């Protein structure tokens, strides 16, 4: 995860390790204590349909650590090619695979080995033949230009110090008029350095959250148009420090739909 960041004193190598450690634990120990809610209760609270959750591997749902719901705005169609950025244990990838059907294809990428192993094992056991998981970074996608109809991502881009690079890569791999449909954490006020440089809060999806206006501008600067944004008021942090930062600086979850021009 080599990247520049506007947060001068953030050690990006240390941050990458902290993020990997946290999401290794999320894959291996989904019942542990985290700053955020997880699993099926979180998924249902955010709006995922019970009937849909019943059709995918339960172990993918138990490690779900997303921040919002976007299936209702994605308008997935049979046969589409989808890329899931930071696919974790695979919950969104499996749900999307059902929506695009046997003629469609879902590729999940993640940098954390334990998440990838878990997702790959579940895909094999549950016979999800139209899903595959690849080790890769959001900042350097291993795909040719104009490969995908849709890029999805849930709770991941806030973890990336160089968001402009990520949005440039997303735009590059989308086909013309392709959609980016994501849920992520943004802020209403600029976060102070004691939060942006706290790698534990960063790994918990708070420290790296960008100001909502800057976030939207970064997307549009790369050649996409933001067509819809909604606040996911059901999403909330759990720990005292995370709750405090969230309240003070308006740290919140949004679902966002953008289209490549």
Ligand X SMILES: C[S@@+](CC[C@H](N)C(=O)[O-])C[C@H]1O[C@@H](n2cnc3c(N)ncnc32)[C@H](O)[C@@H]1O
Per DSSP, the residues of 149-214 read EEEEEES-GGG-S-HHHHHHHHHHHEEEEEEEEEEEEEESSPPPHHHHT-HHHHHTTSTTPEEHHH
Count CA atoms within 13 Å of residue 237 on its CB side: 24
CB-based contact 130:159 (threshold 8 Å): no
Q: Looking at beta carbons only, is 82 or 160 nearer to ligand X?
A: 160
Closest contact distance (angstroms) between CB of 201 and ligand X is 13
Under rule CB under 6 A, residue 237 binds ligand X: no
CB-based contact 227:259 (threshold 8 Å): yes
Distance CA 209, CA 253 (A): 10
Eight-class DSSP state of 35:
S
Quick note: the x/- pattern for ligand X over 150-189, rule CB under 6 A, is ----xxx--xx-----------------------------
Phi and psi for 120 in degrees, rounded to 5?
-65, -45
Q: Looking at beta carbons only, is 54 or 177 nearer to ligand X?
A: 54
Closest contact distance (angstroms) between CB of 16 and ligand X is 7
Distance CA 181, CA 83 (A): 10
Closest contact distance (angstroms) between CB of 176 and ligand X is 25
Under rule CB under 6 A, residue 208 binds ligand X: no
Closest contact distance (angstroms) between CB of 18 and ligand X is 11
Quick note: the x/- pattern for ligand X over 48-77, rule CB under 6 A, is ----------------xxx-----------
Token pair for 92: 């969104």
Under rule CB under 6 A, residue 138 binds ligand X: yes
Residues found near ligand X in the complex (CB under 6 A): 1, 19, 23, 64-66, 86-88, 91-92, 110-112, 115, 137-139, 154-156, 159-160, 205
């Amino acid at each position: 995860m080599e990247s520049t960041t506007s947060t001068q004193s953030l050690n990006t190598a240390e941050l990458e390790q902290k993020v990997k450690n946290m999401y290794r634990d999320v894959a291996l120990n989904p019942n542990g204590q985290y700053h955020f809610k997880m699993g099926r209760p979180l998924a249902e609270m955010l709006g995922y349909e019970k009937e849909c959750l019943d059709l995918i591997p339960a172990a993918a749902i138990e490690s779900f650590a997303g921040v919002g719901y976007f299936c209702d705005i994605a308008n997935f169609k049979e046969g589409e090619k989808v890329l899931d950025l930071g696919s974790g244990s695979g919950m969104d990838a499996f749900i999307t695979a059902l929506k695009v059907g046997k003629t469609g294809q879902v590729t999940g990428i993640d940098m954390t080995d334990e998440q990838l192993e878990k997702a790959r094992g579940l895909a094999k056991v549950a016979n999800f033949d139209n899903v595959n998981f690849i080790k890769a970074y959001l900042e350097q996608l291993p795909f040719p230009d104009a490969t995908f109809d849709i890029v999805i991502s849930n709770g991941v881009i806030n973890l990336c110090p160089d968001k402009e690079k990520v949005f440039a890569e997303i735009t590059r791999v989308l086909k013309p008029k392709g959609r980016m449909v994501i849920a992520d954490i943004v802020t209403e006020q600029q976060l102070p350095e004691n939060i942006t440089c706290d790698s534990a809060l960063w790994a918990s999806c708070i420290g790296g959250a960008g100001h909502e206006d800057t976030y939207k501008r970064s997307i549009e600067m790369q050649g996409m148009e933001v067509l819809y944004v909604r606040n996911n008021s059901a999403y909330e942090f759990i720990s005292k420090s995370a709750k405090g930062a969230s309240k003070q600086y308006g740290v919140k979850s949004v679902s966002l739909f953008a289209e490549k021009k």
